[in-house]
Amino acid sequence: MIKILVIIPTFNEVENIGPLTEKLLRHPLDLEVLVVDDNSPDGTGARVQSLAGQDPRIHLIERSGKLGMGSAHREGLRFGLAHGYDRVMIMDGDFSHDPALVPEMIRASETADFVAGSRYVPGGSTPDWPWHRRFLSRGSNVLSRLVLGRQLHDWTSSYRCFRREALAALPLDRFQSDGYAFVEELAFAVVRRGFRVAEVPITFLDRSRGQSKINRHEVGKAVWNLLRLGLRRLFLKS
């Protein structure tokens, strides 16, 4: 059976992380979970540590403070490479990404090097969002398709699955963004290298517990990063 790692970055997800890891580990797959926690004040790290004591399939990287979601993804991806997993997945720790879709993402990865859970292919949706949030996300994906390419319909989704070989080809140390912008930068690096991509439709639900961490500063940084990647695409053809 293929070895799967699911990375979950967390900052204050103490109510979500237990039920989420439980659902993930119930799949009849050779699957392990890595939580990358940024010393959450609500005690997420301690909760995960106690879960890890009961189940060796749960791993924890505890960092000193809030270093950003993108840098947590990066740290998790490095762990995945170092420990020989065949597939490395990433998902949010707030149930916005349905853990029941893991087998479908893994199936899609049989013929794709990179699978994105997508809100913007037929069957995908964001039913909970007010119009302004839809507008922002849709708008940034329209822009991303113009700037980065048409290979993906959802460049900013952080529900993902990598085949090991694709991940190993990426220069993880050279990525410049640490926050939400990293998500796009990573997908762009995959596409630029000509890897096979696939999208699985997802219904993105709002978190029912805990607080949102996205803010205007992060959105601004993501827009700036998009422009930077676009310029690179224009001037560096490789």
Ligand X SMILES: Nc1nc2c(ncn2[C@@H]2O[C@H](COP(=O)(O)OP(=O)(O)OP(=O)(O)O)[C@@H](O)[C@H]2O)c(=O)[nH]1
| Distance of alpha carbon 97 from alpha carbon 107, whole angstroms | 17
Q: Which does 189 bind (CB under 5 to 8 A by kind): ligand X, Mg ion, none?
A: none
Helix (H, G, I), strand (E, B) or coil at 64: coil
Q: Which does 113 bind (CB under 5 to 8 A by kind): Mg ion, ligand X, none?
A: none
| Shortest distance (Å) from residue 94 CB to Mg ion | 4
Could you say whether residue 96 binds Mg ion (CB under 5 A)? yes
| Distance of alpha carbon 203 from alpha carbon 194, whole angstroms | 27
Interface stretch with Mg ion, choices 11-19, 74-82, 86-94, 118-126 (CB under 5 A): 86-94
Can you tell me which residue has the tokens 């990426």?
170
How far CA 55 is from CA of 18, 50, 191, in Å, comes to 12, 9, 36
| Shortest distance (Å) from residue 92 CB to Mg ion | 5
How many positions of this chain bind ligand X (CB under 6 A)? 19
- For the sheet with 30-37, list strands across it: 58-62, 30-37, 3-10, 87-90, 160-163, 114-118, 197-201
Each residue 1-40 as x (binds ligand X by CB under 6 A) or -, in order, gives: --------xxx-x----------------------xxx--
Q: Which two three-digit tokens encode residue 71?
A: 């840098």
Q: Which does 154 bind (CB under 5 to 8 A by kind): ligand X, Mg ion, none?
A: none
How many positions of this chain bind Mg ion (CB under 5 A)? 3
Q: Which two three-digit tokens encode residue 99?
A: 């853990």
Could you say whether residue 185 binds ligand X (CB under 6 A)? no
- Pick from 196, 213, 228, 233 the residue near ligand X by CB under 6 A: 213
Each residue 71-110 as x (binds ligand X by CB under 6 A) or -, in order, gives: -x-------------------xxx-x--------------
Interface stretch with ligand X, choices 18-26, 64-72, 139-147, 220-228 (CB under 6 A): 64-72
| Distance of alpha carbon 9 from alpha carbon 35, whole angstroms | 6
- Closer to ligand X by Cβ: residue 58 or 112: 58
Inter-residue contact 116 to 199 (CB < 8 Å)? yes
Residues linked to residue 36 through DSSP beta bridges, in sequence order: 9, 61
CB-CB neighbours of 15 under 10 Å: 17
Give the residues lining the site for ligand X (CB under 6 A).
Answer: 9-11, 13, 36-38, 66, 68-69, 72, 92-94, 96, 207, 212-214
